[in-house]
Amino acid sequence: MHTSRAAFLVTVGCLLLGVMTVPASATPAPGHAGSGDGWVLSTTDTSKNYSPTFVGNGYLGARVPAAGHGYSSKPIVTQSQLAGFYGAPSAGQEERAGLPTWTTLGFGRGGDVYGLGEWSCGFGRLCPTSYGKISGGAFVESSHPGSTVGAYLAGLNTNDTPTVGGTDVIPIRDAPAGPATLAVRYGNGSGSPQTVHIGVNGTLQQLSVPSLASWDDWAVVTVPVTLNAGANTLEITVTDGDTARVNVDYLALYPDGAQPPTQVASDSVGTTTNYRQSMDLRTGVLTTAFDWTSPAGDMTSFAYEVNANRADGHLGTVSVRAVPHWSGTATVVDELDGRGLDHASTTDSRVDGRTATLSQTVVSDGNLVTAGVNSVLRVDGKTVPTRALADPGDGGAGQRADFPVRAGQPLRVTKYVGVASSVDTDRPLAAASPRQAAAKTAARAAEDGYQRALARNDDAWSRLWQSSISVPGDATMTAQVHASMFYLLASVRAGVVWSASPGGLSSDGYSGHVFWDMETWMYPALLAQYPDIAADANTYRQQRLPAAQAAAAALSTPDHPIKGAKFPWQSALTGKETTPDWSPDGKQEIHINSDIALAQWQYYEASGDKAWLWDKAWPVLRGIADYWATRAVPDPAGGYAIKDVKGADEYHDNVDNSVTTNAGAQASLRIAIRAAGIAGRSADPAWGKVADGLKIPVDAGANIHPEFDGYAGQTVKQADVTLLQYPWALPMAPALAQNDLDYYQARTDPNGPSMTDAIAVIAGSALGSPGCAVYNSLRTSADPYLAAPFDQWYETRTGGAFDFTTGQGGYLQEFLYGFTGLRWGTDAVTVDPFLPPQLPGVDLTGVKWHGRTFDVSVGRQTTKLTLRAGPPLPVRVGGGDVRQVRPGAALQVPTRHPAGDSTNCGR
């Protein structure tokens, strides 16, 4: 979505911007198991059509694998994210760094501990690299077909830079001593030979693999090796001097002179039965229950609960109720798994066995941010002495406790994890170091106990869910809506002034960078019901205004002086431009300035907070207006032009007069003029002059807005011209607006990102588009992108960023602003409801405006607006009169419907 080199991203088979490329299901999960009320999503089979979900509280997040806890590299890497935790690699821009995996908690007997038993591959088997121990920035990917188990080792080269230290280790068992053949199946579509290092029992040699026709092709090279009898270790790693643009499917060891093996090694350690994994969206608790039989034959019944506590953003808990069906000495292992580390390293790992406390300091690359992680272990609420595990050598650390158990007697093991960082925005930094603050959080939670921590979490989520969206009578769609809001809320929270990336806190997608995705797609979905959370996205930009001002000043030349503020296309810790140097987007996608200005203004419209406008928003609005007034240039034909840009349609670089760029600039200038009047500030006369003179061309023959100068019907990546209707509200005749929708829908790439059709729903609802147009756009905005079983979103039909909070934000806006016709104003809210006949209705609760709280229920014939709290609410119905709504007297207005035949929509 955010780079014109999307094809290049797929070609290299890597994360050039941290984008996880995993194929999405073609359709949503059919009738996935759940509670039936749209709040609990469940699965009993993770062997196919399964994408692991994540827990998050807006500060701390973790993706949790099918195992119910811990680290996994498949089907995607399970990462642990922390808001504001950015690193600066030696070669490259600021990127989100990953914590050690804090969710690891194993239970078993002796060496057979559930979820921690080391997988190994038999001699004479195909050993998929996705089953190995992956670290150092390498990862599992599955975007290219033809791999042995549908996933393979990737990330050995990122953004044309070898991932030095990227490693995959595969233990081999039952090998004969002496000479053998090592087969390596690889993919290399780079156009030139590539090198990596292959290791056998710690001895490395460089391997060069020829180029193949494409990244979808695979080939095998063989290497003679010498093995020990029994256990051996294979390793793929990237060292200095390697080029490493290669994917690796499997390794295989077999006797010299023999035929290569064909049997694929199993990925399991022990066996699992009676499995069920459930995400309760009401509480953010992921529960995984099953019976596990260890390789030694011991069976234990497990019920894991993983949660990032909503009441205390710095607290995570992992709790397991275990029922051993055996008697003896049990082992519990609490780990901070270093395989989850990314763009960071750990120092000073300690275990205090007396208090069963494990702690680490985590430092991001470039020493940008320091975090403290502290884990306190309790068994049935009591302290059991622990001892440190051996150093795994990957930045991880762990502690172990041993104690007697009896068959059939249940016990609960809980780890309380405290996390804090040096850039926290929700705590006084001078009060304690990150490590001290993390220790205090974990110790306090352990003292209070698990049930109290869980109760506080549940209460915090309950307060959030006083605002909700539902489709009465349609539990499946309601679950999709609830899940979209849950994952968005899991990535943001009030007081944590870090804006969200397109992957939220679920991953390091797009390097954790902040784009227009927040202001245009996620932010409006929050603003309606959670303005206190939405406000922090604006604060994030306000705090980085000096960097934006410096960026504008750096563009100024004697021939073309630039004033004001230029915000970065990609932003991270400092507010400096973090777009890779090879991409033109940092220089050309300047429409982000307008997206930021609109978000600042929308908050004022929704809150009516003049003091905030004066003190916080005005400097940003003024800086953006100054930028546009000086970035625009006089047009020889009259008026003003904005040249050499890229609009929202990222398929076209270096265009002049991108219609959405110009319309956003025009709106930003006029917003600044209005804000100046309200704030009692002076508006530069140039703002109005440039705004009035900016070109917003219309093709009179086709009766459409051409996307840019010289546009001739080329394929469009995503919503661009249609943004003129929403969110920019550019005045235009209804026929022109409908023509824009129809014309560009036919020219938009169906493999583009998932939020495009949201605009068609919102704009089509406002227009009352005839027939099945709005309903079909509703379905195509969601169905192709939803991932089973937890209703998460992929960026495109074939993969991309995951979990894609941008798409979720667009989807939520369909219900908030599409079917209700809700629009903000400084003097009133507007409602203008519209409903396709396929929908039974849409209910919104807890909408906020100027200190009021109200509900909207869009019914088939009538829409009802009820004031829940606050003074009388002024409501403009459609474009008509303003009516005052008072408590106890609901406003009822007719619900509009599409004209023509809208019943047979082919679904």
Contacts of 279 (CB under 8 A, 6+ apart): 40, 41, 42, 53, 285, 286, 287, 790
> How far apart (Å, rounded) are the C-alpha atoms in residues 482 and 614?
36
Question: Do the Cβ atoms of 726 and 762 come closer than 8 Å?
Answer: yes
> How far apart (Å, rounded) are the C-alpha atoms in residues 413 and 318?
8
Q: Which residues pair with 162 in a beta bridge?
A: 157
| Per-residue tokens: 534 | 């939405």
Question: Do the Cβ atoms of 52 and 286 come closer than 8 Å?
Answer: no
DSSP state of 58: S
> How far apart (Å, rounded) are the C-alpha atoms in residues 740 and 900?
20
| β-pairing verdict for 873-877 and 829-831 | parallel
Backbone phi, then psi, for 714, in 5-degree steps? -65, 160
**Cα-based distances in Å from 161 to 90, 111, 244:** 11, 39, 8
DSSP for 5-32? THHHHHHHTS-TTS----PPPSS--TT-
Question: Do the Cβ atoms of 282 and 465 come closer than 8 Å?
Answer: yes
634 CB neighbour count, 10 Å cutoff? 11
| Per-residue tokens: 166 | 């990227």
531 CB neighbour count, 10 Å cutoff? 18
Q: Three-state SS string across 476-512, please?
A: HHHHHHHHHHHHHHCCCCCCCCCCCCCCCCCCCHHHH
Catalytic-labelled residue, pool 335, 650, 707, 795: 650
Could you confirm whether 650 is annotated as catalytic? yes
Q: Angle between the 659-679 and 685-693 helix axes, to the nearest 10 degrees?
A: 150
Contacts of 733 (CB under 8 A, 6+ apart): none
Q: Which of 796, 744, 738, 740 is nearest to 766 (CA)?
A: 738
What beta strand segments (E) does 84-188 contain? 86-87, 95-96, 101-109, 112-113, 121-122, 126-128, 133-135, 139-141, 152-154, 157-158, 161-162, 167-175, 178-187
> How far apart (Å, rounded) are the C-alpha atoms in residues 11 and 798?
14
Q: Give the residue numbers annotated as catalytic, written as ranges.
A: 650
